[in-house]
Structure 1
Amino acid sequence: MNIPNLLTVLRVLLIPVFILLFYLPFSWSYQAASAVFAFAAVTDWFDGYLARRLEQSTPFGAFLDPVADKLMVAVALVLLVEEHAQLGYMHVLLTLSAVIIIGREIVVSALREWMAELGARAHVAVSNLGKWKTAAQMLALVILLANPPQVTFLVIVGYALLIVAAGLTLWSMFQYLLAAWPHLSTDTEKK
């Protein structure tokens, strides 16, 4: 167990803390939950940096890191969808964005696993577009988690960033599917 792996495990362990803080009946609970989420997002970048810099990449870390990221984001999205239910049409935008983001993660994870079985995982490696998507998504979630579900300037900015993230999410998914299409469209029955 090295430092990058410990940071990844810490991110998973922070999920129940994050949920508890979000639901506490105090005026500061949203900000505290958002701070824990932001800290987890920073550890995500930091553990990857340390793993590369210290040459401490491990199979365990390669497996758990994306799982921890997806769990933290999915939990945040589910909490926000539930909490923002009274915001009418804005809630519909949040829900659609959450479905797109979570659905894309499932599709791309399955695609990467399948491509790895074919020995072609490099065709669906993380792209720069995925990094922009992640940045917009994380910033949106930090903003939305920190604020109560009311129509304010910051909440509108958070929604706008999440919609941008959902758009980039779809775009990156289509890029991954196009890169994998030659493998997906091969007729394996004839071989």
Structure 2
Amino acid sequence: MNFPNSLTILRFLLIPLFVLAFFSNIKYKYMIAIGIFLLSGLTDILDGFIARRYNMVTKFGKLFDPLADKLMILTVLWCFVYKNYIPSIIFYIVLVKELFMILGSAILYGRIKIVVSANIYGKIATFLFYVAIISILLKIKISIYILMMAVIFAIFAFVVYSMKYLSEYKKLRSTSNE
């Protein structure tokens, strides 16, 4: 287990900590939740940088790093729906998109050992989700609009991923028919 993978595991552990902070009765619960959420984002950036810089990229990291990100964002969105901070449709759109992404990635990895890497639209969507989530916790008025932009970028990223997935799948089928 290398250091970047340890950071990925830490991000999985931060998910229930966020939920505990978010639903706690302590005075600064949202500030603590923001801190946990930002720590998750920081460790995501750090593990990716270290893995690439020091040639520590692993199959585990390729598969579980994006899963940790998806689970954190989905968990936070679910918490927001539960407290009626956002409409539930936003959570369900993101959930369905992520389930399709996970399923498609699992199929590609299982069949031809290819991991479809993040595209720029997915990175922008993730950044916007972070900004939206923090602005919601800080009760900034435009936060719902930022969240809607994040969802739009996430959908667009999904379309781009899908086209790449279909391209890889067609290659797989054509080579298996030869």
Shorter chain as normaliser: what TM range? Answer: 0.7 to 0.9
Partner of residue 150, structure 1: none
Higher relative contact order (CA 8 A, sep 6+): 1
Residue 96 in 1 paired to residue 89 in 2?
Answer: yes
1:17 corresponds to: 17
Is the contact made by 1:4 and 1:51 (CA closer than 8 Å) also made in structure 2? yes
Q: Percent identity?
A: 28
Q: Which runs of 5+ in 2 are unaligned?
A: none
Letter in 2 for 1:104: K
Q: Which runs of 5+ in 1 are unaligned?
A: 86-90, 148-153
Instruction: Select the residue among 124, 130, 141 that pairs with 2:122.
Output: 130
Which stretches of structure 1, 4 residues or more, deviate above 4 A after TM superposition? none
- 8 Å CA contact 1:21, 1:29 repeated in 2: yes
Deviating more after overlay: 175-184 vs 35-44: 175-184
Q: 1:57 to 1:108 in 2, by over 3 A?
A: same
TM-score, structure 2 normalization: 0.85
Aligned to 1:116: 109
Asked if residue 81 in structure 1 is aligned to residue 75 in structure 2, the reply is: no
- Whole-Å Cα distance in 1 between the matches of residues 58 and 166 of structure 2? 30
Amino acid at match of 1:103: V
SS at match of 1:26: coil
After TM superposition, the structure 1 = structure 2 runs for residues 140-151 of structure 1, keeping only pairs within 5 Å, are: 140-147=132-139
- State whether structure 2 residue 149 is matched by structure 1 residue 157: no
1:120, distance to aligned residue in structure 2 (A): 7.8
CA RMSD of aligned residues (A): 2.3
The count of aligned residue pairs is 173
